[in-house]
Structure 1
Amino acid sequence: MATNLTVDGRARVLADGNEIPLLALGVWQVPEGPETENAVRWALELGYRHIDTAQAYRNERSVGKALADSGVPRDEIYLTTKFNPGGKDAEVEAQRSLERLGVDYVDLYIIHWPQGGPTWAWDGMQRAQAAGYARSIGVSNFNVPELDALIAVADSRPVVNQVQFSPFEFRRELLDACEERGIVLEAYSPLGTGRHLDDPRVGEIAARLGRTPAQVLIRWAIERSLIVLPKSTHRERIDENGQVFDFALTGEDMATLDSLDQTDGTAAARESKWW
């Protein structure tokens, strides 16, 4: 599988030529205000350079405040937000996101889920990209037929598909389909919102390596050259979750983790829809 990793192994080159860091801080379910501001500020202090938010999270203002207060130059931070398809026009909503974030552009703008069908919002996404509001555009929670329907009408193809993905949700057919189409898979909820941390097989690998279960689960995605978005609001865990580039999993470790899949290697992006 061609991965198009950068020389340092910490980022991947997308189909449009832009580079995306493999590790990101996700801020789903983190409320607007100090909790989001602190998480983003700590992540940047600890070396993270990719922050992932969304219009539907309602915390873009806090993300933007933390970015501004961090002192890290804007061009050193990879910033993702997502179009809420409850809105009518992705270009208009991109402008509003930029105002809340206090930035001139986002690096990646994603359709958050395929509400109303996979193609209707793409014109607005392309207009947002053409206007310079977003450097790259992509999707989230899209299955293979939805990706193909979109590709068929797209002038600018989606470069990422962000889905729930971990050893326990190892959507192998979806991953293969994305790679075949030049789309990078992004793994959200890699820790299963904490559910996966207590699995004894993950714990056994972590104990042998002297690592945390979270680090093992995140590393599993890194080994596959996927973008991975662990979320935490605790500084020490944000720090630990970032320490994943100085060790490797063996082939046996990867096979053990692969065997934890509970989706039968599905090509589906979701087991059930929330929209």
Structure 2
Amino acid sequence: MTSDELTPDGRARVLADGGALPLLGLGVWQVPDGPECVNAVRWALDAGYRHIDTAQAYGNEASVGKALRDSGIDRGEVFITTKFFPRGNDPVGAMQQSLRRLGVDQVDLYLVHWPQGGPTRAWSGMERAAERGYARSIGVSNFSAAELESVTAVAERIPSVNQVSYSPVDFRQGLLEACRKHGIALEAYSPLGTGRLLRDTTVAEIAAAAGRTPAHVLLRWVVQRGIPAISKSVHRNRIEENLRIFDFTLSDEDMARLDALDRTGHTAEAQERPWW
């Protein structure tokens, strides 16, 4: 990671197309549409988050849009990501519906949620969505190194982002290197290992020594590499607490101890067992 890949405040990753992706965002996967989602997003925005990550498959874009409007924060200050549900065939039409539900004219990032039907099937539609101004940046999610090669071989516009499961136990070094080769920003979801890493002995020891929470340590492990991370919670205190990762650093020794938790063999795959 070089200094020119981050914004001057060190809080966002500069994308190849010029966008700035905040290093910490709130994700709303598995958060029901309605008050629970609205509250989580409002609490995040009130706390200072400026990136909200949703998807057509989550079914809660309307709640994200309501929370954004209710917050009173200027639309231009909040980075919004949504994802194309690839069981459909029309990324442009699906994006139009997402914009209606979100109540915005454009999203900041539109991702192919997973490579169903092949890695290139949806990409021309994603490019059309960007050409029409529906998305400032476009990218992919759950794409392996080989699938990135397939997309970049045919793309007129290279994906800006590849959002994948990434944490100390899913330290996908081969995939990270493939993203860097193409100028694609890797973005981490499930940086807490879907919660199981919060109870890991090594994580707990590092957190205790630093006077931090296990979540702080795991999120810091990601963003200290300049990799954006999506955290998820519906509890106000945890949402606020997770934001406190920019006022400390992990030592090289601690980073190495966390690196050693990898169970993927530094894979270039995005998923060990794809669900599609």
TM-score interval, normalised by the smaller of the two chains: over 0.9
Q: Distance in 1 between matches of 2:186 and 2:243?
A: 19
Q: Is 1:2 the counterpart of 2:22 in the alignment?
A: no
SS in 2 for 1:25: strand
CA RMSD of aligned residues (A): 0.7
Match of 2:170 in 1: 169
Q: Distance in 1 between matches of 2:248 and 2:111?
A: 31
Cα shift at 1:2 = 3.1
- AA aligned opposite 1:172: Q
Match of 1:49 in 2: 50
Match of 1:268 in 2: 269
Q: Distance in 1 between matches of 2:10 and 2:217?
A: 17
- AA aligned opposite 1:140: S
Match of 2:196 in 1: 195
TM-score by length of 1: 0.99
Q: Structure 1: which 5+ residue stretches go unaligned?
A: none
Structure 1 runs of 4+ off > 2 angstroms? none
Per-residue displacement from partner, 1:221-242 (whole Å, max 9, x unpaired)?
Answer: 0111001001000000001111
Match of 1:217 in 2: 218
Cα shift at 1:193 = 1.6
SS in 1 for 2:194: helix
TM-score by length of 2: 0.99
How many equivalent residue pairs?
275
Match of 1:182 in 2: 183
Identity of aligned residues (%): 64
> How do 1:109-258 residues align onto structure 2 when only pairs under 5 Å count?
109-258=110-259
Per-residue displacement from partner, 1:113-156 (whole Å, max 9, x unpaired)?
Answer: 00000111111101100100000000000001110110011111
SS in 2 for 1:192: coil
Q: Structure 2: which 5+ residue stretches go unaligned?
A: none
Q: Distance in 2 between matches of 1:261 and 1:99?
A: 41
Per-residue displacement from partner, 1:54-102 (whole Å, max 9, x unpaired)?
Answer: 0000000001100110000000000000000011110110000000000
Q: Distance in 2 between matches of 1:94 and 1:110?
A: 10
Q: Distance in 2 between matches of 1:20 and 1:163?
A: 15
